[in-house]
Amino acid sequence: MTQHLVDARAPRDLTAFIAELPKAELHVHHVGSASPRIVSELAARHPDSKVPTDPGALVDYFTFTDFAHFIEVYLSVVDLIRTPEDVRLLTYEVARDLARQQVRYAELTITPFSSTRRGIDERAFMDAIEDARKAAEAEFGTVLRWCFDIPGEAGLEAAEETTRLATDDRLRPEGLVSFGLGGPEVGVPRPQFKPYFDRAIAAGLHSVPHAGETTGPETVWDALTHLRAERIGHGTSSARDPKLLAHLAEHRIPLEVCPTSNIATRAVSTLDEHPVKEFVKAGVVVTINSDDPPMFGTDLDNEYAVAARLLDLDERGLADLAKNAVDASFLDAAGKARIKGEIDTYTAGWLDR
Ligand SMILES: Nc1ncnc2c1ncn2[C@@H]1O[C@H](CCC(=O)c2cccc(C(=O)O)c2)[C@@H](O)[C@H]1O
Ligand SMILES: [Zn+2]
């Protein structure tokens, strides 16, 4: 796990620049953000779990043989979240970790179906995430918004439940801005989710499905055509289809690129083979994200360092990447202008030292 972190670090000066750079994170999973500290605390609360309580043992536990193995381990961590207080603790601590990296705004992908099917009361679940969101904004200054995603492999029952939770006016939380689709893609065709995305979009939510992470470019086309995707989670295989790259560039559909994730789940063999450079060359809007940072031995700062290396960026290039994420976010115009202003002021100050 730490191997990714150590190998990928940028030269010292860029590391220091990145650490204080104000950032936005658009693709990060709620449960997948549980740090070793949070996992150990939850595992200690629920000692019957198979997840190790010792943070050191988690390094091996979070080493994956393939994408299916990653999902199996992911679900064992989901099993640790059993009470509304577990949900609140996780959400609040995730916000603390984001704030430490100067993340000013994050869209956190939450899978409410996984919690409600495990017996957490739906009202208590919504109250827990909203309570943590408000506390985090007041205490850390980090603004959180939610993306509720369908765990596609769990079928249409999960799709129906997720859509209900996202669109029922009595339940849907104030911080909810978007609707997603996650989990394995193989054997889970995207078009079947069209009616659910139609309902979510009609209720005012943005469409941000995962696509082209573990399957080919046709899945990205499906996400665009059937699910009316406004951004694509990963979209890695788009690089294999020049027409798709041209379409993404022309319509300014951003990709939520998560380089280290793609190596850890073995979706891409090595960082040097990652297609992020091809996306940029084709004029596609690229945002850099961390996906499930502790599980992949990374964090958002490290993903920016990886991007700096793969794209050969200096401080201005990194600031532009950070601004891409702000522009591609679902923040309002004033909020975007405020964070982009902070990025510019910080970068100018750094270069003037
Ligand atoms: N890189 C990723 N790419 C894709 N998804 C990712 C990624 N990282 C994290 N996820 C998350 O994985 C979960 C998958 C959950 C799932 O498939 C499932 C299947 C059957 C039952 C249940 C259950 O809960 O009972 C869950 C989703 O919640 C998604 O948000
Ligand atoms: Zn993801």
* Nearby residues of 204 by Cβ (< 8 Å), 6 or more positions away: none
**Residue 185 Cα: closest atom of ligand 1:** 4
In the chain, what percentage of residues exceed pLDDT 90? 91
**Confidence class for position 341, pLDDT limits 50, 70, 90:** very high
Token duo for residue 290: 């961390």
How far apart are the C-alpha atoms of 157 and 114, rounded to whole Å? 12
* Nearby residues of 285 by Cβ (< 8 Å), 6 or more positions away: 248, 249, 252, 253, 254, 255, 324, 327, 328
Report whether 76 contacts 42 (CB < 8 A): no
210 Cβ closer than 6 Å to some ligand 1 atom? yes
**Gyration radius (Cα) of the chain, Å:** 19
pLDDT of residue 10: 59
213 Cβ closer than 6 Å to some ligand 1 atom? yes
- Residues 296-323 have pLDDT tens digits of 999 999 999 999 999 999 999 999 999 9
Surface-to-core class of residue 224, CB atoms within 10 Å of its CB (0-12 exposed, 13-18 middle, 19+ buried) = buried
Q: What angle do CA 28, 30, 31 make, to 5 degrees?
A: 120
Report whether 28 contacts 291 (CB < 8 A): yes
ipTM exceeds 0.90: yes
pLDDT of residue 6: 44
Ligand (nearest to CA of 30): 1
151 Cβ closer than 6 Å to some ligand 1 atom? yes
pLDDT of residue 1: 43
Q: Is the pLDDT assigned to residue 224 strictly greater than 70?
A: yes
Residue at token pair 């859509």: 163
H helix and E strand count, the chain: 17, 9
**Confidence class for position 53, pLDDT limits 50, 70, 90:** confident
Token duo for residue 152: 């596609």
Q: Is the pLDDT assigned to residue 7 strictly greater than 60?
A: no
pLDDT of residue 220: 98
Give residue 257 CA to ligand 2 midpoint distance, Å: 9
Give residue 229 CA to ligand 2 midpoint distance, Å: 15
Q: Is the pLDDT assigned to residue 9 strictly greater than 60?
A: no
Q: Which entry of 213, 230, 256, 315 is annotated as an active-site residue?
A: 213
Question: What value does the mean pLDDT take over residues 262-289?
Answer: 97
The full DSSP string for 81-124 is --SHHHHHHHHHHHHHHHHHTTEEEEEEEE-HHHHHTTT--HHH
Average pLDDT, the chain: 95
Token duo for residue 258: 């998560």
Token duo for residue 29: 């999973």
Token duo for residue 178: 């978007």
117 Cβ closer than 6 Å to some ligand 1 atom? yes
79 Cβ closer than 6 Å to some ligand 1 atom? no
Give residue 16 CA to ligand 1 midpoint distance, Å: 34
Question: What value does the mean pLDDT take over residues 193-216?
Answer: 98
Ligand (nearest to CA of 71): 1
Segment (H or E) for 176 = strand 176-182
Measuring CA to CA, how many Å separate 151 from each of 58, 111, 118, 148, 252? 24, 7, 14, 10, 26
Helices 315-328 and 300-311: crossing angle, nearest 10°? 120
Is 274 strand, coil or helix? Answer: coil
Report whether 105 contacts 142 (CB < 8 A): yes
Go through the chain and tell me how many residues it has. Answer: 353
Token duo for residue 23: 């950032």
Helices 12-20 and 333-351: crossing angle, nearest 10°? 150
Nearest alpha carbon, ligand 1 atom 29: 182
139 counts as catalytic? no
pLDDT of residue 228: 98
- Residues 111-163 have pLDDT tens digits of 999 999 999 999 999 999 999 999 999 999 999 999 999 999 999 999 999 99
Give residue 114 CA to ligand 1 midpoint distance, Å: 9
